[in-house]
Amino acid sequence: MRQLSRCPMPEISSCRSCGSAEIRKFLSLGNMPLPTALVTKEGLHQPEPRFPLDVAHCPECSLVQILEDVPPQQLFVDNYLYFSSFSDELLRHSREHALRLIEERRLGANSLVVELASNDGYLLKNFVEAGVPVVGIDPAPGQAEAANEAGVPTIAEFFGLELAQRVRREHGSADVVIANNVMAHIPDPNDFVEGISHLLSDGGLLTIENPYVRDLVEKCEFDTIYHEHFFYHSCTSIDRLMRRHGMYLMHVEYFPELHGGTLRWHVAKRGEVSETARQYLEDERERAITEYSYYADFAKKVEAVREELRLVLGGLRAEGARIAGYGAAAKGSTLANYVGIGPELVDFVVDRNVHKQGKYTPGTHIPVRPPEALLNEQPDYVLMLTWNFRDEILAQQQEYLKRGGRFIVPLPWPEVVA
Ligand code: ZN
pLDDT digit string (tens) for 183-206?
A: 998 989 999 999 999 999 999 999
Domains and CATH numbers, the chain: 84-294 (3.40.50.150), 299-417 (3.40.50.720)
Q: How far is the centre of ligand 1, averaged over its atoms, from the C-alpha of 184 (Å)?
A: 14
Query: Which residue(s) pair with 350 in the sheet?
Result: 326, 369
Q: How far is the centre of ligand 1, averaged over its atoms, from the C-alpha of 61 (Å)?
A: 4
What pLDDT score does 3 carry? 44
Predicted confidence band at 418 (pLDDT cuts at 50, 70, 90)?
Answer: confident
Q: How far is the centre of ligand 1, averaged over its atoms, from the C-alpha of 62 (Å)?
A: 6
Q: What is the mean pLDDT of residues 269-294?
A: 97
Least confident of 81-85, 114-118, 391-395: 81-85
> With 90 as the cut, is the pLDDT of residue 77 above it?
no
Q: How far is the centre of ligand 1, averaged over its atoms, from the C-alpha of 59 (Å)?
A: 7
Q: How far is the centre of ligand 1, averaged over its atoms, from the C-alpha of 234 (Å)?
A: 12
176 by DSSP, 3-state: which?
strand
Q: How far is the centre of ligand 1, averaged over its atoms, from the C-alpha of 20 (Å)?
A: 5
User: Is the distance from CB of 87 to CB of 45 less than 8 angstroms?
Assistant: no
- Widest pairwise Cα distance in the chain: 66
> With 70 as the cut, is the pLDDT of residue 325 above it?
yes
Q: How far is the centre of ligand 1, averaged over its atoms, from the C-alpha of 245 (Å)?
A: 15
What pLDDT score does 7 carry? 56
What pLDDT score does 187 carry? 87
Q: Considering only CA atoms, which of 397, 350, 400 is closest in space to residue 380? A: 400
Q: How far is the centre of ligand 1, averaged over its atoms, from the C-alpha of 269 (Å)?
A: 22
Q: Considering only CA atoms, which of 337, 294, 411, 412 is closest in space to residue 26? A: 294
Q: How far is the centre of ligand 1, averaged over its atoms, from the C-alpha of 21 (Å)?
A: 8
Could you report the per-residue pLDDT of 136-165, keeping only the tens digit for each? Answer: 999 988 889 999 999 999 999 999 999 999
Q: What is the mean pLDDT of residues 295-309?
A: 96
> With 50 as the cut, is the pLDDT of residue 84 above it?
yes
> With 70 as the cut, is the pLDDT of residue 46 above it?
yes
Measured between alpha carbons, how far is 256 from 260 in angstroms, rounded to an integer? 6
Q: How far is the centre of ligand 1, averaged over its atoms, from the C-alpha of 291 (Å)?
A: 12
> With 60 as the cut, is the pLDDT of residue 105 above it?
yes
Could you report the per-residue pLDDT of 360-407, keeping only the tens digit for each? Answer: 999 999 999 999 999 999 999 999 999 888 888 999 999 999 999 999
> With 90 as the cut, is the pLDDT of residue 321 above it?
yes
> With 70 as the cut, is the pLDDT of residue 82 above it?
no
Return residues with CB closer than 5 A to ligand 1 (ion).
Answer: 15, 17-18, 20, 58, 60-61, 63
What pLDDT score does 6 carry? 55
Q: How far is the centre of ligand 1, averaged over its atoms, from the C-alpha of 67 (Å)?
A: 12
